[in-house]
Amino acid sequence: MSVPDYMQCAEDHQTLLVVVQPVGIVSEENFFKIYKRISSVSQVSVRDSQRVLCIRYRHHYPPENNEWGDFQTHRKVVGLITITDCFSAKDWPQTFEKFHVQKEIYGSTLYDSRLFVFGLRGEIAEQPRTDVTFYPDYEDCQTVEKRIEDFVESLFIVLESKRLDRAADKSGDKIPLLCVPFEKKDFVGLDTDSRHYKKRCQGRMRKHVGDLCLQAGMLQDSFVHYHMSVELLRSVNDFLWLGAALEGLCSASVIYHYPGGTGGRTGARRFQGSSLPAEAANRHRPGALTTNGINPDTSSEIGRAKNCLSPEDIIDKYKEAISYYSKYKSAGVVELEACVKAVRVLAIQKRSMEASEFLQNAVYINLRQLSEEEKIQRYSILSELYELIGFHRKSAFFKRVAAMQCVAPSISEPGWRACYKLLLETLPGYSLSLDPKDFSKGTHRGWAAVQMRLLHELVYASRRMGNPALSVRHLSFLLQTMLDFLSDQEKKDVTQSLENYTCKCPGTMEVLTLPGGPALPPVPLTKLPIVRHVKLLNLPASLRPQKMKSLLGQNVSTKSPFIYSPIIAHNRGEERNKKIDFQWVQGDVCEVQLMVYNPMPFELRVENMGLLTSGVEFESLPAALSLPAESGLYPVTLVGVPQTTGTITVNGYHTTVFGVFSDCLLDNLPGVKTSGSAVEVIPALPRLQISTSLPRSAHSLQPSCGDETSTNVSVQLYNGETQQLVIQLENIGMEPLEKLEVTSKILTTKEKLYGDFLSWSLEETLAQFPLQPGKVATFVVNIKVKLDFSCQENLLQDLSDDGISVSGFPLCSPFRQVVRPRVESKSVNPPEGSKPGDSSHVKTLEAILNFKYSGGPGHVEGYYRNLSLGLHVEAEPSVFFTRVSTLPATSSRQCHLLLDVFNSTEHELTVSARGNEELVLHAGECQRMAIQVDKFSFESFPESPGEKGQLANPKPLEEERPEARGLEIDSKLDVHWRIPSLKRTGEASVEGLLNQLVLEHLQLAPLQWDVLVDGQPCDCEAAACRVGDPVRLEVRLTNRSPRSVGPFALTVAPFQDHQNGARNYDLHGAVSFVGSGTLHLDAVQPAGQSACLGALLFLYTGDFFLHIRFHQDSASKELPPSWFCLPSVHVRALEAPA
């Protein structure tokens, strides 16, 4: 016997072997269709008996194994069922002949046989026959199972007769010697009359009868015969048959202890057809042993329990039997099958270590030279048995050996598909799963080196199968899960192989379903590159949407009547973990930043990297990147455009690496930090782009300003200069721009600004709205730099020390404090590095223009955008006023304002005031400028709201009024400078330079005095009169003060000025008064007016002056002297006409 049956189990010893084979040409489908129905009749209850007959069907059985039928009767083919097709009567004789030929193969052991004929109709089919059954076709054969049951009953009759015949006590007859095939030549010439020989014959026959009893369903009888056989055979050292007797005893005991069977699912079905439980069926056999003369007491329960082996003894007897089998080289198959049966029993007893010993013994049993198919079968069965006892890795080892045997070099046509299928079955034993999710949690399980070897073999097998998609999937899995265990060279080799495979078949995220096998889930390459942090980025400051504040305020929820609720706050905190507190805008490019690094020892090229989102229709804009070898954390920004509104969730990203397309979900990435993955997308808004006529600035605004500017422009202006900033407003979005508001913000500066720094008119720009996409509107802003024109202390000292004639009052602006130290050596023209016009004197001014705009669907929802333009202005000094003073003019209502002007530029400069000629100043030159101005009535001037608005903190009234007065004076003076070489002009403001004393000199007195000669006002020019004619003199007083003044007494004193510093008041012979020389004025109420009259008579020609003096009385002493400023009176007496 050379072909082992690896599927045998202990309970097979009680079965009858029936072979089912086709005769002639029968399709495989039809044959197995009938075979399946035949094999379903595996247990038949014997009529008029409680016995159950078990049948084991085989469709292929080696005839040489049949020769061992006397050794173990369950190996003997006792029944033959043949299936054939016959469609005509003329073919019937030939078909029937083939049936007889088939019977002759197993003829020596057959109890009975049957022929099932399909397709034959007519007279032959209608003839009743016992051994032949006719069916018209394979569908119309309902009686197959009934025919098989009848066939089994005929087998039982023969079996029972043989059992009774062999078990009968025929002491007078000679018992034949049962032999196995290889023993026949050894027994030639033996003494058949010896006691030793007779015991051998009796022992073997007892063992044979025990087998027949077991097959006939008489379990307790078999115990008795097996025990008797063991005693007889042990006494004659017949080890081969002693082993068989022990194995039979073990099988009977297994059948008793484990009625469900030991062969898995097959064994579990053995007793489902029994009308009684197996144990009960085995207990009651009345009179079973009385026919063969054996003591009937053996049928009692006590005797049966005594003869049955315990579970522990079963294994010991198996060991003993196998040790006897091992003594015979030709019994290798029997020994191997016994090991398999013992393992199945130990598996039920959960004695894995002992079972492994039996299996290890089975591995080393040498059989004849096995074919490749037999080797595959042997290793596969070993693998299944190791799996049965829980030795998963050992099972996987033999399964892999079987897989490699499928493609052994000696096989002409290697079975790569079978190899691949077996390799897949080894994966659980090596703690491998084809789902990459199983490798993303916890530590790595299993031996990585073995796992990598197995994965490489799967890749190779799938390639030889002609399935490159499988090769790509397994290589991707190897790279993803075993990356930490690959050496640098292995990483290069694997990636190179992967690129070669993906050239023919790119890797996808589809599930690969194998025919009759498992489904291979997709393998996203989340480690190429490795992502450590994911952050959704807010839109740039110029594009961020802002919500228009409602009456309740932007941050107050209208859903709750309470100002604050801890429950609401808690819920918001939970939502904040998921939803980010900024918004994206429909149609605008949005960004997500990933911090990645490359674990590979070479440059990693990632193609087609984009975002995976849900909730909103999203257009991902793929990116390609190249990461250096073993790079540190590297920022990568992925962009896309949301096409609809709602809440968008960033679920992950997709990549193409080495030709493998991967969808990497954030939930499956271990160790990834994220601040949230959901953000709200609001309706579309227009996009405003600004371009200016000024160059961009390299300077950044003060970091503390708090406003992010999209563009910074810079300009250099001289103090007092004005320049236009032309801004082009272009709508580069897809929505119309409907609303625009412009505001400005001057950043904190130590410099005092006068006037409006930035001014504009928005009407012309708004007339072009709504601004359609692609259209441009123009907006003009006036930049006016007007800083303090007062001179610094050190420059003033330089001029004084150099002997320049400067008089009047030194300038000290009340709004600035100079703390610069004085230097030792000074000159009017300082060195180049210390000129007032160098960088140390350049003042920096910064402002922000805010454009608040909206339009489209976003405007309907109450959103707007804010675009900021930063303005950096460098103000260089133009002119300084080093001194300011006043001189009285010829008119009492005028005075001369003296300004010492210093040119601080490096160019020739002209200065002019209203009504004055230009004053030319060379670089670094200082000259005095006299300006005649009318005095001002400051009491009637209103406060300047513009000045009040520019002051950070409200000042007291006494500080605000000088500012208002300075603004009025500056507007009347209208001082301008001009640099002809640069064609640049500007203002020169005296605001902030006029101290209190100068303001008093420029102010009209509250009491306004007017002197009239002959009714003509006399202030600047001389009044003409005739000699001898009386001249009428009138003095008028207008009270502009808030109090009542007077009365006053005035004395008129005429004199002549000789223009040499001498005055002649002794004019009694030249001038005569008509009436009194003293004039009297009554008290004058506020806003009232009064006048007094007098007359003079000039007796000679000439120029005369009148000096009007006030009497020092109590009324005049209470008022300041400046209130009594009467104009000078000049009278020219001419000759009387003849």
Comparing 426 with 708, the larger pLDDT belongs to: 426
Cβ-based burial of 1077 (10 A; exposed 0-12, middle 13-18, buried ≥19): middle
User: Do residues 149 and 44 lie in contact, with contact meaning Cβ atoms separated by under 8 Å?
Assistant: yes
pLDDT tens, residue by residue, 212-255: 999 999 999 999 999 999 999 999 999 999 999 999 999 999 99
Question: How far apart (Å, rounded) are the C-alpha atoms in residues 452 and 430?
Answer: 10
**Does residue 568 carry a pLDDT above 60?**
no
Cβ-based burial of 93 (10 A; exposed 0-12, middle 13-18, buried ≥19): exposed
Bond into 506 cis (ω within 30) = no
**Does residue 354 carry a pLDDT above 60?**
yes
Q: Would you tell me how many other CB atoms lie within 10 Å of the CB of residue 306?
A: 11
pLDDT tens, residue by residue, 329-343: 889 999 999 999 999
Q: In the chain, pLDDT over 90 holds for what percent of residues?
A: 42
Question: How far apart (Å, rounded) are the C-alpha atoms in residues 277 and 816?
Answer: 116
DSSP, residue by residue, 133-182: EEESSSSS-TTHHHHHHHHHHHHHHHHHHHHHHHHS--TTSPPPPP--GG
Average pLDDT over residues 532-559: 73
Residue 73's pLDDT band, with cuts at 50, 70 and 90, is very high
The helix/strand/coil state of 373 is: helix
Q: Would you tell me how many other CB atoms lie within 10 Å of the CB of residue 531?
A: 23
User: Do residues 779 and 742 lie in contact, with contact meaning Cβ atoms separated by under 8 Å?
Assistant: yes
Average pLDDT over residues 564-574: 46
Alpha helices (H) in 364-391, listed in sequence order: 372-388
1084 token code pair:
């004058």
**Does residue 932 carry a pLDDT above 90?**
no
**Does residue 269 carry a pLDDT above 60?**
no
Residue 876 CA from chain centroid, whole number: 52
The helix/strand/coil state of 320 is: helix
Sheet holding 722-731, edge to edge: 688-692, 722-731, 776-784, 758-760
Q: State the pLDDT at residue 288.
A: 34
Q: State the pLDDT at residue 840.
A: 52
Number of residues that this document lists for the chain: 1138
Burial 1106-1135 (b: 16+ CB within 10 A, else e): bebebeeeebbeebeeeebebbbbbbebee
Average pLDDT over residues 365-390: 88
Average pLDDT over residues 729-733: 91
Question: How far apart (Å, rounded) are the C-alpha atoms in residues 564 and 584?
Answer: 28
Nearest to 499 by CA among 464, 471, 467, 529: 471
CA angle 382, 383, 386 (to 5 degrees): 85
User: Do residues 866 and 546 lie in contact, with contact meaning Cβ atoms separated by under 8 Å?
Assistant: yes
Q: In the chain, pLDDT over 70 holds for what percent of residues?
A: 83
Sorted by sequence, the CB contacts under 8 Å of residue 102 that are 6+ apart come out as 21, 23, 80, 82
Q: State the pLDDT at residue 289.
A: 33
Q: State the pLDDT at residue 58.
A: 94
Question: How far apart (Å, rounded) are the C-alpha atoms in residues 525 and 508?
Answer: 11
Comparing 1120 with 379, the larger pLDDT belongs to: 379
Query: In which element (H, E) is residue 206 found?
Result: helix 195-215
User: Do residues 108 and 51 lie in contact, with contact meaning Cβ atoms separated by under 8 Å?
Assistant: no
Q: Is the dihedral of CA 75, 79, 83, 86 positive or negative?
A: positive
Indicate the average pLDDT of the chain: 82
The helix/strand/coil state of 451 is: helix
Q: State the pLDDT at residue 834.
A: 39
**Does residue 663 carry a pLDDT above 90?**
yes
Least confident range of 35-44, 58-67, 115-124, 945-954? 945-954
Comparing 1116 with 347, the larger pLDDT belongs to: 347
DSSP 507: B
Question: How far apart (Å, rounded) are the C-alpha atoms in residues 344 and 385?
Answer: 8
**Does residue 806 carry a pLDDT above 70?**
no
Indicate the residue type of 907.
H
Most confident of 484-493, 555-564, 791-800, 1115-1124: 484-493
Average pLDDT over residues 606-627: 93
**Does residue 16 carry a pLDDT above 80?**
yes
Specify the long-range contacts of residues 427-434, CB closer than 8 Å, at least 24 apart. 427/396, 427/454, 428/392, 428/396, 429/387, 429/392, 429/393, 429/394, 429/395, 429/396, 429/397, 429/399, 430/393, 430/396, 430/454, 434/477, 434/518, 434/520, 434/521
Nearest to 787 by CA among 621, 979, 991, 587: 991
Backbone angles phi, psi at 494, to 5 degrees: -65, -45
Q: State the pLDDT at residue 1020.
A: 67
Question: How far apart (Å, rounded) are the C-alpha atoms in residues 128 and 150?
Answer: 15
User: Do residues 403 and 423 lie in contact, with contact meaning Cβ atoms separated by under 8 Å?
Assistant: yes
**Does residue 698 carry a pLDDT above 80?**
no
Q: State the pLDDT at residue 336.
A: 92
**Does residue 853 carry a pLDDT above 90?**
yes
Sorted by sequence, the CB contacts under 8 Å of residue 130 that are 6+ apart come out as none
Cβ-based burial of 978 (10 A; exposed 0-12, middle 13-18, buried ≥19): middle
Query: In which element (H, E) is residue 869 found?
Result: strand 863-876
Average pLDDT over residues 263-267: 53
Q: What is the 3-state secondary structure (H, E, C) of 680-734?
A: EEECCCCCEEEEECCCECCCCCCHHHCCCCCEEEEEEEECCEEEEEEEEEEECCC
Least confident range of 192-196, 1084-1088, 1110-1114? 1110-1114
**Does residue 395 carry a pLDDT above 90?**
yes
**HSE-up of residue 386 (Cα within 13 Å, Cβ side):** 23
Average pLDDT over residues 189-214: 88
Least confident range of 111-115, 653-657, 893-897? 893-897
